[in-house]
Structure 1
């Protein structure tokens, strides 16, 4: 049990850029670390708000006209969106990728169990000062139907 807790990294996703954070986490998962991410809704997507929302609208509109049941699932909850981005960076058809995905936990907000934990921040994945064109993942998800918690 002690060895497992030493191999756990707690990440506060606040003010981290979505793709940069995801690539760091995917690499840690493949190295065998257990990663727990909190404040998933505070993750940032860079770009103009209008173009980011337009891209998400196109992405969420992808449907199968032939067989609607076979339409890909698109989530609008921030924790599921972040988990899906990380999932896309893992070789999930191979055992090591599937095992890596099982070691990932993503939460909206900070659960009571993790309030007294020291959180890691990836400096090169943080939103750079002076970046005006960005939008929170929470705002995107609310725009497309997430009720919030």
Structure 2
């Protein structure tokens, strides 16, 4: 009789730093979501949190291809009647550059409890410095 082996919960999580300077948003986001899910490890299990932590720096300098800077729209709603707010990529990048990467990666994670838990392992900063030096993060080249 075959037994299914379930890997133990990941206790030795690694920390990775990704520099978003001049990186394409979609390609970088897929690498980030794969690290958060743990798909870069041999112990990957779809229903368990086997992923690592990711720190993204220079989020204000991420790029997109084509005319997406003026055509890509980000929508949010306050919940009130007539409360829809629409911004272009360019406007959101000047106002809140971290939200662009967060929204892109969150859409690539599983929906539900596991996805929300994995999303907490993503740390995005608009500058080149971050407060996670004590975790000794490794540089990840996309």
TM-score of the two chains, using structure 2 as the length reference: 0.64
Partners of 1:61 and 1:117 in 2: how far apart?
A: 33
Deviations 1:86-117 (A, max 9, x none): 1111123x221111101000000122536796
Asked if residue 23 in structure 1 is aligned to residue 30 in structure 2, the reply is yes
- Structure 1 residue runs of 5 or longer lacking an equivalent are 123-149
Aligned length: 111
**In 1, are the aligned partners of 2:57 and 2:130 still within 8 Å (CA)?**
no
Classify the secondary structure of the residue corresponding to 1:121: coil
Change (3 A) 1:113 1:96: same
Query: Could you tell me which of 83, 90, 96 is aligned with 2:114?
Result: 96
**In 1, are the aligned partners of 2:16 and 2:137 still within 8 Å (CA)?**
no
Deviations 1:121-145 (A, max 9, x none): 11xxxxxxxxxxxxxxxxxxxxxxx
Corresponding residue for 1:147? none
TM-score of the two chains, using structure 1 as the length reference: 0.61
Q: Which has the larger radius of gyration?
A: 2
Query: Could you tell me which of 48, 59, 67 is aligned with 2:81?
Result: 67
RMSD: 3.0
Give 1 or 2: higher helix fraction: 1
